[in-house]
Amino acid sequence: MTGEVHLHRHGAVGHVSLNRPKALHALTQGMCEAMSEKLLAWRADDGFAAVLLDHAEGRGFCAGGDVQLVRRSALEDGGAAGRAFFHAEYQLNHLMFTYPKPIVAFMDGVTMGGGVGISQPATYRVATENTLFAMPEGAIGLFPDVGAGWYLPRLRGRTGVFLALTGARLDGAECLWAGLATHYLASDALAEAKARIIVDPTDITAILNELSATPPDARIAGNAERIDRLFASDSLEEIIAALSADPSDWAAKELKAVAAKCPATSKVALRQFAEGLVQPDFAAEMASEYRIAARMMLRPDFVEGVRAVLVDKDNNPQWNPADPPGVAADMLDAIFAPLSPDEEWSPNAPL
């Protein structure tokens, strides 16, 4: 696994570098397990102070998870391999969220899906001019997972709902505005930031503050009022109606984006976000998301969505149900229902 993720240490600082450049560093089960194993070992070491998380080469940061594997699993083994992948990935997400020592994630490039799951739990989340953030699961019939049900509804206003239902892509400045990033640095300052943190991991805040650059204007800020107003409802039909009634070109563009996404995904996300706001802790959120993942990966929408986007690349998925009214409440109840006790998700061993 050392080929797909580099795990090494510089004195008191651990360094995790994703290394699948041809797949934009998308996570595999083996990568997740290797990262968890090393983070657990470092966690137990009193001489260890911080973690740096980046990508080793090529374009970064992390484009997601291994959805092709999950699709094959849904078609060939009843989802067993897919569930194993999600279980390992969510354990890594939870371990990072509860990690007692600071993690610095450098979101220098594409940060989508699984990349969101390993950057958002970090204490420090560094965006650059190369950052491209999105949760595009609605395009493939999955759902915004890896802790998105915790993070996105806690963003300012209805930004998180907007991101989930449209799949909108944010640049680094927009990530800083939204709270998805804690700092904005020019990419050519990252090497210095890492080197200085390795020398003095007790001074991370001051180092990142000193090296921070003034970002461009965040484009999304100009649409914040529209987002909060038009995406205010927890009903997909009401959001579509609000967008349809608004005469602006912006609303028409976002209506088209919402309408193109999998209706079941969108309704799952809206319920997931409402429940995520009242989950008692992150472990409960991940347990809920694992239940959803175990069901959503076996629905025809996921197989069809990956076919349309990644296999045949015709970008013309045929969703089933095809429209929001077809996604009934009992369907959602079944997706969110508990699994049998021996199938439920569990976190890594606590401290």
What are 36-85's pLDDT values in tens digits? 999 999 999 999 999 999 999 888 899 999 899 999 999 999 999 999 99
- 228 has catalytic annotation: no
- 65 has catalytic annotation: yes
Residue 350, in any domain of the structure: no
Residues linked to residue 335 through DSSP beta bridges, in sequence order: none
The predicted model scores a pTM of 0.96
pLDDT for the residue 350:
73
Question: Could you tell me the two tokens for 186?
Answer: 């020019």
Which CATH number do you get for residue 212?
Answer: 3.90.226.10
Sort strands 103-107 and 110-112 into parallel, antiparallel or unpaired. Answer: unpaired
- 305 has catalytic annotation: no
Question: Could you tell me the two tokens for 177?
Answer: 């505005």
* Domain coverage including residue 205: 5-343
Catalytic residue, chosen from 137, 171, 174, 285, is 137
Residues 6+ positions from 110 with CB-CB distance below 8 Å: 24, 59, 60, 61, 62, 63, 132
pLDDT for the residue 267:
98
Residue 192, in any domain of the structure: yes
- 137 has catalytic annotation: yes
Nearest partner of 55 among 154, 121, 143, 128, judged by Cα? 128
How far apart are the C-alpha atoms of 239 and 199, rounded to whole Å?
Answer: 50
pLDDT for the residue 1:
44
Catalytic residue, chosen from 108, 145, 254, 285, is 145
Question: Total structural domains in the chain?
Answer: 1
Catalytic residue, chosen from 65, 147, 149, 172, is 65
Low-confidence ranges of the chain (pLDDT < 50): 1
Residue 183, in any domain of the structure: yes
Residue 348, in any domain of the structure: no
pLDDT for the residue 351:
63
Work out the angle at residue 25's Cα, subtended by the Cα atoms of residues 24 and 29, and round it to the nearest 5 degrees: 135
The kind and range of the H/E element at 103 are strand 103-107
Residues linked to residue 37 through DSSP beta bridges, in sequence order: none
Whether the Cβ atoms of residue 111 and residue 131 lie closer than 8 Å to each other: yes
Catalytic residue, chosen from 14, 64, 79, 114, is 114
pLDDT for the residue 2:
55
- 105, 155, 159 from 179: Cα distances, Å: 14, 7, 10
